[in-house]
């Protein structure tokens, strides 16, 4: 995607490329992509911010009496969708959502991230994020419904013919590249049927836009290969789940603010402060970074996912890892987020948490050099290492204890998100699971 595109550029490209349809995309508070499709003849009206939709039809948005919402397209997100083979192309723009009175809609996740970015910029920093996106590819049945049968039995970095999804993954990378992504790496992950595609870091808003676009592309290309792509954190028990590790850095005056050649481990005070803020708020933002009942089936020991709130330079079991690269590549890798999260909200909370650490001069505890999974409870207590929430209910309780995280979301998102997650938890606890039947029906 091109941050230099202006509204006039969009008009010119639509005319030159014979684009017939434009999808005006946005996400709801759960990160689900929505869109209003218009014809090219309506483009001027869209770029003048005059396209309206019914907000009451979007879960968690507004009541019926407040339903008129306006889409403000961001020209920098304009991209042609290359997988549509139709007469006259199809393009899209991601939109900000405004109310009828011309003010930003408080329930728009993009607005929540914009507020966090403004706080960051007002402090003299720019926030950059490089996500590592993991997902599973499953076979589909005769009715094209997804199964839980993986398409291969491959493992970490395996190649075809063992990795039967390699061709699909190559086509995903090819399509993403056509759409302006700079893909850094693509490979088979640890579990059968699991893949990872990483793209170059960018400013937080662009990174969040890239994530929602990425998920759409992966699902579309998988479907073309008669596969189903899922970003469900833990679709299969006994295997590693899918994460969305976030590599983060702050830049100031064009230089990486986390790098200090004279600092401890060549990291700056800001890097340690930012890390301390992330550690302080980690379990309180888990309801956003790990938003599903299923998310907490991934955050268990033994499957390469972080369980404990700690950091390390040398191993991958803690919550935060500091990769060895320095200079402008200096960064912190937060390892608990998963790809089911709303990236706008997740990045907003991460940024607020890190800035809180800088503003308050917080210091992180000592790094953990050993495998945390092998530490006893007494060792953990002695080191003062806390655990991430064990389930969604606990995560929501933690969120409501943190005034900064609540303020970052805003009252509208917090209230509607809480209602939805309460329902999700209640439905889950009311369900009789196969494990219960297999373990209890004979015994009792």
Catalytic annotation, residues: 54, 132, 134, 189, 196, 245, 316, 333, 335
DSSP sequence for 109-154: HHHHHHHHHHHHHHTT-EEEEEEEEEEEEEEE-TTS-EEEEES---
The single residue listed with the structure tokens 């579309």 is 220
In 3D space, the residue among 274, 307, 305 whose CA is nearest the CA of residue 386 turns out to be 307
| 3-class secondary structure, 411 | helix
Q: How far apart are CA 70 and CA 233, in angstroms?
A: 33
Query: What residues does 126 pair with on adjacent strands?
Result: 251
Q: How far apart are CA 149 and CA 226, in angstroms?
A: 13
Given a contact cutoff of 8 angstroms between Cβ atoms, the answer to whether 134 and 140 are in contact is no
Neighbouring CB atoms inside 10 A of 1's CB total 18
Q: How far apart are CA 63 and CA 65, in angstroms?
A: 5
Six token digits for residue 101: 């009175």
Give Dmax (Cα) for the chain: 71
What's the half-sphere exposure (Cβ side, CA atoms, 13 Å) at 248?
33
In 3D space, the residue among 394, 281, 385 whose CA is nearest the CA of residue 336 turns out to be 281
Given a contact cutoff of 8 angstroms between Cβ atoms, the answer to whether 79 and 92 are in contact is yes
CA angle 53, 347, 280 (to 5 degrees): 140
Dihedral (CA of 344, 253, 335, 311) sign: negative
Q: Is 190 exposed, middle or buried (0-12, 13-18, 19+ CB in 10 A)?
A: middle
Six token digits for residue 422: 């309460």
């Amino acid at each position: 995607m091109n941050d230099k595109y202006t509204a006039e550029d969009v008009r010119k490209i639509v005319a030159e490329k014979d684009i017939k349809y434009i999808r005006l995309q946005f996400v709801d508070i759960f990160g689900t992509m929505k869109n209003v499709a218009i014809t090219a003849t309506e483009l001027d009206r869209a770029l003048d911010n005059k396209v309206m939709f019914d907000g009451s039809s979007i879960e968690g948005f507004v009541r019926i009496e407040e339903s008129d919402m306006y889409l403000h397209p961001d020209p920098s997100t304009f991209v042609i969708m290359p997988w549509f083979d139709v007469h006259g192309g199809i393009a899209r723009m991601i939109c900000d959502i405004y109310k009828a009175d011309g003010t930003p809609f408080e329930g728009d996740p993009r607005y929540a991230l914009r507020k966090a970015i403004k706080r960051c910029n007002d402090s003299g920093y720019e926030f950059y994020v490089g996500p590592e996106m993991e997902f599973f590819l499953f076979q589909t049945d005769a009715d094209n419904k997804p199964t839980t049968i993986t398409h291969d039995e491959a493992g970490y970095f395996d190649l075809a013919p063992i990795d039967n999804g390699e061709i699909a993954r190559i086509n995903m990378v090819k399509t993403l590249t056509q759409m302006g992504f700079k893909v850094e790496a693509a490979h088979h992950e640890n579990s059968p049927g699991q893949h990872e595609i990483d793209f170059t870091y960018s400013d937080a808003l662009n990174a969040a836009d890239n994530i929602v676009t990425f998920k759409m592309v992966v699902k579309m290309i998988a479907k073309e290969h008669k596969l189903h792509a899922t970003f469900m954190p833990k679709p299969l028990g006994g295997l590693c789940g899918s994460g969305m590790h976030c590599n983060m850095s702050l830049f100031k005056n064009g230089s990486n603010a986390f790098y200090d050649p004279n600092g401890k481990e060549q990291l700056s005070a800001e890097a340690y402060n930012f890390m301390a803020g992330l550690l302080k708020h980690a379990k309180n933002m888990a309801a956003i970074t790990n938003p599903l009942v299923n998310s907490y089936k991934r955050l268990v020991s033994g499957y390469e996912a972080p369980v404990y709130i700690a950091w390390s330079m040398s191993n991958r079991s803690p919550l935060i890892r500091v990769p060895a690269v320095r200079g402008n590549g200096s960064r912190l890798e937060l390892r608990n987020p998963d790809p089911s999260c709303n990236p706008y909200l997740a990045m907003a909370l991460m940024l607020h948490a890190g800035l809180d650490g800088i503003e308050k001069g917080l210091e992180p505890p000592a790094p953990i050099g050993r495998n945390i999974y092998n530490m006893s409870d007494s060792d953990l207590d002695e080191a003062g290492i806390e655990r991430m929430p064990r389930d969604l209910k606990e995560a929501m309780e933690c969120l409501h204890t943190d005034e900064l995280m609540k303020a970052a979301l805003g009252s509208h998102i917090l209230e509607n998100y809480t209602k939805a997650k309460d329902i999700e938890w209640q439905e889950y606890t009311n369900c009789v699971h196969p494990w219960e039947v297999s373990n209890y029906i004979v015994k009792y």
